[in-house]
A and B are shown apart, each in its own frame.
Chain A
């Protein structure tokens, strides 16, 4: 009970970041954690839904240690992510978000499980389905919604949009629009970590669609040759846009596609399986170089907001996954099973989250569009005092 009231009082802060498990260091969101072990609540062991399957490696145990705090944290964080993405859907339909909007709901366990296993000094890079990863790396709701709506308060000052969220200080390197490009970039981050002897790792995330990209294999070859601490996370949601995995890949066993690089197949809807696998992978990568983790996951939305998501898969399939494998429901059942809080209290948390998201959207809506002068900023870090032209060259020219 005491724990719940502590959790409730923290959540009233607007633009808050996620409630992170104690295993993490230095949150950038102004959230502080109780220092005594007692505040973690009871420790217990959770069994993953299915065993891991290894390729060229001995898979880790199905038994995962956790604490009440971590479990509650998973519930809150995934619920927040879920609520944020659904709210983004509504904003897109209201034409406040333009262009592309790729939603992550269904895949939340990958984001929170990974974050639970690593620190902010480890690096994450992903493609365009990046809103929730941004949040887990220390981004806040206001800057997320503001960026989606192209406003000044956005994390990229409104100049990036949905696919271009970044937070270098939180170890988040984007946010990339070109399918597959983020994987060599991620191996480059790992190269730098090794060069600087930081004992940290990079998680380079990509989908089943990107898994067939040639540059992936080029980067993996170099990473294996040079023993880079690169962990490739294939978020296999089984559809590359509208193309099912069996239509795109001769071998959809993505965890095996690294050939000489070991791999692990993980239930990506189980936050604890994800956490265990990422912990295992980090230890592996620091000693032995690259490893591939295939997260078996699912997206409820279509590929993007312009895709209903039902022309290439049945509504039955979607509702079945929601029923049997939803990541938030799994954690809810665990919380109730271990009697941490009541079902009504969980509902209260969800209501708070809803309100928080609504408040963040309201605040983001207040933020204006960028000043027209921003058209010409940040082209270079260091300008040369030369001309940049607007559309009407004679009328619109500045020196940068």
Chain B
């Protein structure tokens, strides 16, 4: 656990003890992961993965430029763009005023002309100030113009809950953006995901919403030489089977993939073999992979951190019921954030987001195993 703490506090701005407490609340079984990775050779944090992807794509194509609050001289609010201003100069790494509607519109206009902007939102909560440009100016343009004007832009930044940042800074926007035709919506989990999907997003000719996760930035993952190559790229629209299993399918994206993997570990000790699907792409959604998995396991639990109503899990459940009804042996289960604005108090915050136990319980219900009565808060 301490080794991870040291890696996580690279940014230097959060006191280690506070970070330790926060992380213990949010990632209780993290020690399991760390032990698993220590023997595997090269490792890279998600932060390093994103930074290297940006660096390589900027190097490969002079039309790629970065724009956002504090991306330049501050080295990035979460240090994702560290070193890029020094390397590429102020014409290609632009610090903007705190005016999301204005700079997002400028970014989209630049993409209309043929540049390849990467617009950073300090968190996706602030993207709501610019959402008209993301949806109406970017997503719909290629269709409305019958292909005359395309929009090769990437909107990226941290999404979802962090730790103790309360209701206005904790929302997950996956469901909102994945709702819209014309957008591609990606959400990486591991460093391999971060590198491969961000590079794919920047090279893609369509507008991409790239939902990162602040807690994952400092997390380290093993990485192969293939992933480190500057030509490495992952396909958009394809999920990854993170862990094969035969009794139940668990779908997740971003941070929740880690939780799902921990739940799978716990479940395996109780004789339940869970298949964990890392969605990677929310739009397009890899319905083929999800349905193929459910047809094999006959049970489905969807996991997401965001609000439950009309969420990602709702779409996945509908897809499975539509395509694979006869294969289901149990009702589909959704695990999502509580249907409340995110509270600040530590105990309430813990109740508002999925924990590993919640996923384990859901799987057991889907397997018709008895589940311990929920303890009082």
Contacts and interface: CB of A to CB of B under 8 A. Distances in A.
B147 A381 contact: yes
A378 B99 contact: no
Contacts of B133: 181, 184-185
Contact of A379 (B107, B182, B286): B182
Interface string B140-178: 001111111110100000000000000000000000000
B101 A215 contact: yes
Given A188-B110, A189-B110, A192-B113, A166 B137 contact: no
Interface in B283-305: 284-287
A181 B140 CA distance: 14
Centre residue among B65, B206, B284 by max chain A CB count within 10 A: B284
Nearest to B102: A218
Given A167-B148, A184-B109, A188-B112, A222 B182 contact: no
Interface string B83-111: 00000000100101101011111111111
B322 interface: yes
B235 to A, nearest CB: 7
A222 B96 contact: yes
A155 to B, nearest CB: 8
A195 B65 contact: yes
B97 A188 contact: no
Interface string A168-190: 10000111111001011111111
Contacts of B105: 181, 183-185, 187-188, 215, 218-219
A159 interface: yes
Interface string A353-386: 0000000000000000000000001111110111
B245 interface: no
Given A186-B109, A188-B112, A215 B102 contact: yes
Nearest to B117: A188
B210 to A, nearest CB: 15
Given A176-B137, A386-B237, A188 B205 contact: no
B284 A187 contact: no
Contacts of A185: 105-106, 108-109, 112, 133, 137
A386 B238 CA distance: 9
Interface in A267-311: none
Interface string B178-203: 00011010000000000000000000
A394 interface: yes
A191 interface: yes
B185 to A, nearest CB: 12
A378 B147 contact: yes
B309 interface: no
Contact of A378 (B109, B142, B284): B142
Contacts of A166: 144-145, 148-149
B106 A191 contact: yes
Nearest to B207: A380
B204 interface: yes
Contacts of B118: none
B236 interface: yes
B288 to A, nearest CB: 8
Interface residues of A, number: 53
Interface in B205-264: 205-206, 235-238
Nearest to B146: A157
Contacts of B112: 168, 173, 185, 188-189, 192
Nearest to A385: B237
Interface string A241-252: 000000000000
B285 A222 contact: no
B115 interface: yes
A381 B206 contact: yes
A112 to B, nearest CB: 23
A218 B109 contact: no
A214 B129 CA distance: 11
A154 to B, nearest CB: 8
Contacts of B204: 382
Contacts of B152: 381
B132 interface: yes
A166 B151 CA distance: 14
Nearest to A165: B145
Contacts of B343: none
Contacts of A393: 322
B102 A378 contact: no
A69 B52 CA distance: 58
B287 A386 contact: yes
B16 interface: no
Contacts of B146: 155-157, 159-160, 377-378
Contacts of B322: 393-394
B287 A379 contact: no
B231 to A, nearest CB: 18
B29 interface: no
B136 interface: yes
A189 B91 contact: no
A202 to B, nearest CB: 8
Contacts of B331: none
A148 interface: no
B173 to A, nearest CB: 20
A188 B106 contact: yes
Contacts of B284: 384, 386-387
B308 interface: no
A212 interface: no
B142 A218 contact: no
A160 B102 CA distance: 25
A188 B101 contact: no
Contacts of B236: 384
A220 to B, nearest CB: 8
A378 B143 contact: yes
Contacts of A384: 184, 235-238, 281, 284
B113 A188 contact: yes
Interface of A: 123, 125, 155-157, 159-160, 164, 166-168, 173-178, 181, 183-193, 195-196, 214-215, 217-219, 221-222, 225-226, 377-382, 384-388, 393-394
Among all A-B residue pairs, the 7 with the closest Cβ atoms: A188-B109, A184-B105, A218-B102, A384-B237, A192-B113, A386-B284, A218-B99
23 contacts: A125-B109, A156-B145, A160-B145, A164-B145, A175-B145, A176-B137, A178-B137, A184-B108, A185-B105, A185-B112, A186-B109, A188-B110, A189-B112, A189-B113, A192-B115, A195-B115, A214-B101, A217-B102, A218-B102, A221-B97, A221-B99, A380-B142, A384-B184
Interface of B: 65, 91, 94, 96-97, 99, 101-115, 132-133, 136-137, 142-150, 152, 181-182, 184, 204-206, 235-238, 281, 284-287, 322
Given A181-B137, A188-B112, 4 more contacts: A160-B145, A189-B112, A378-B145, A379-B182
